[in-house]
Chains A and B, each alone.
Chain A
Amino acid sequence: MRHLLSAADLDAATATSLLDTADRLKEALLGREVRKLPTLRGRTVVTLFYESSTRTRASFEIAGKQMSADVVNVSAGSSSVSKGESLRDTALTLSAMGADCVILRHPSAGAAHRMSEWTPAHVINAGDGMHEHPTQALLDAATLREHLGTLDGRRITIVGDVLHSRVARSNVALLSMLGAQLHLVAPPTLLPAGVSGWPVTTGHDLDAALPQSDAVMMLRVQAERMHGGFFPSAREYATWYGLSEARAARLPQHAVVLHPGPMLRGMEISAAVADSPRAVITGQVSNGVHIRMAVLYHLLASQEAGT
């Protein structure tokens, strides 16, 4: 593995090995005094974010630092990027400075693919427009595996703004590859026109889907979509697609609730559900660090190609 550009590029064996590595890292770091591994000493990792993000950037930064990499954060707002430098020139500049790995978040789909053609550094896609967010899908898969034992044959319902969601795209690719049965529930306006080609079933009835679900993944509804005419009002959305307490009661006893965050309590998910034992949202966050450590390990530890 040279880059992590999309979950769709992974095969089941590589994905499983990333999840296993994350599990091992989690064990290795559990209850330790010194939460630092020497594995990536002397490697330089750059986070290059063209969109604001707290948790993803922090998660990558902590992951890099716990493996002793030197982590440099570059924000679009505080660099020559804001002076109109092209993405290609930024890529060339960072690789000239010796960056071993560039973690890129960019509003344009495919930006990480393009970056990987311009730089000899390893590229990790930390979210590219509406395309993919592969480490989010990996951490979701790790969380689901932790709670459900396996993904094979498990029924997972993904709810909300699938159309604009890179989290949904990555999860559909990864979870279906790992054997899960996926069901998407969304208003018709928030399902992509080409969804019929995806390895999923789709529907508009959340109440009917919940009793059949081993897990339900609530997607974020971005504020700018609420006024884009995709649905009439936040209240109507919450009525049909929000995960209320009463609705969550329809889930089987063992089922868990995921949310990539940040949550809109009240609209996407009620506060009571978000804070209930079946919500594994903070578990997702801590798994995020281990998954990103695993990805960094797989990309950077060895200099041998083709591994």
Chain B
Amino acid sequence: MTSRTGTEAAGQRELLSAADVARTVARMAHEIIEGTAPARAVLLGIPSRGVPLAHRLATRIGEFSGATDIIATAGILDITLYRDDLRRRPTRPLEPTTLPEGGVDDALVVLVDDVLFSGRTVRAALDALRDHGRPRAVQLAVLVDRGHRELPIRADYVGKNLPTSREEEIAVLLEETDDRDAVMIRRRAQ
């Protein structure tokens, strides 16, 4: 649902600038502090762009919470082996899964992804998480919610709601993977 691009091709439009992305991440960090305190929060990024987002959020949370009792750590949760569309697509390479020290048992886990769309990725992430342990609670943070849910799933923290049509694609660009921060919209390639 996301795709990488370095240039602004025709029919492509910037919805969020780098400054917008930074502001949004900061606001989400504040919301997560409010929503999770005083628990031990584990932010698990879903590859690929959920991973740098989870790290950014953890860093911001660390900065903002100061001497409070909130400790947010970031990890990676690869969900490839739990996807429900493996048969229909070419074989996907696996991404690493790394859980913070102490695992997820009794932690408050915040799943982090760039775009919330059908909800199938999140469902797969919930399945994957269940095999890694038993968190106290699981929440969901996404930078963009573009609608069109196919499962009864909603996010606890949303950076930006962007109503889209199914013919459109949302591309989240992050410095860590794409050399700049932005959110783009474009027509789906035929």
Q: Are B96 and A27 in contact (CB under 8 A)?
A: yes
Closest residue of B by beta carbon distance from A305 = B90
* Residue A90 is within 8 A (CB to CB) of chain B in the complex: no
Interface size on A, residues (CB 8 A): 24
* Residue A196 is within 8 A (CB to CB) of chain B in the complex: no
Instruction: Give complex CA distance A151, B97 in Å.
Output: 24
Q: Are B86 and A37 in contact (CB under 8 A)?
A: no
* Residue B9 is within 8 A (CB to CB) of chain A in the complex: no
Instruction: Give complex CA distance A301, B80 in Å.
Output: 10
* Residue B89 is within 8 A (CB to CB) of chain A in the complex: yes
* Residue B91 is within 8 A (CB to CB) of chain A in the complex: yes
Complex interface: chain B residues within 8 A of A17 (CB): 93
- Residue in B78, B91, B95, B133 whose Cβ sees the most chain A Cβ within 10 Å: B91
Complex interface: chain B residues within 8 A of A231 (CB): none
Q: Are B91 and A37 in contact (CB under 8 A)?
A: no
Q: Which of B86, B94, B131 contacts A33 (CB 8 A)?
A: B131
Q: Tell me, rounded to whole Å, the shortest Cβ–Cβ distance linking B82 to chain A.
A: 6
Closest residue of B by beta carbon distance from A42 = B87
Question: How many interface contacts (CB-CB < 8 Å) are there between A and B?
Answer: 63
Complex interface: chain A residues within 8 A of B95 (CB): 24
* Residue B4 is within 8 A (CB to CB) of chain A in the complex: no
* Residue A21 is within 8 A (CB to CB) of chain B in the complex: yes
The interface bits of chain A over 246-269 (1 if a CB of B lies within 8 angstroms of the residue's CB, else 0) are 000000000000000000000000
Given A24-B97, A303-B88, list of 20 further CB < 8 A pairs? A24-B95, A25-B81, A25-B94, A27-B97, A28-B78, A28-B81, A32-B132, A32-B133, A34-B130, A38-B127, A297-B81, A298-B91, A301-B86, A301-B87, A301-B91, A301-B92, A302-B87, A302-B88, A302-B92, A304-B89
Can you spell out 23 A-B residue pairs with CB atoms less than 8 angstroms apart?
A: A1-B91, A17-B93, A20-B93, A20-B94, A24-B78, A24-B95, A24-B97, A27-B98, A28-B81, A32-B131, A33-B131, A36-B131, A38-B82, A38-B127, A39-B81, A301-B87, A302-B89, A302-B91, A302-B92, A303-B88, A304-B88, A304-B89, A304-B91
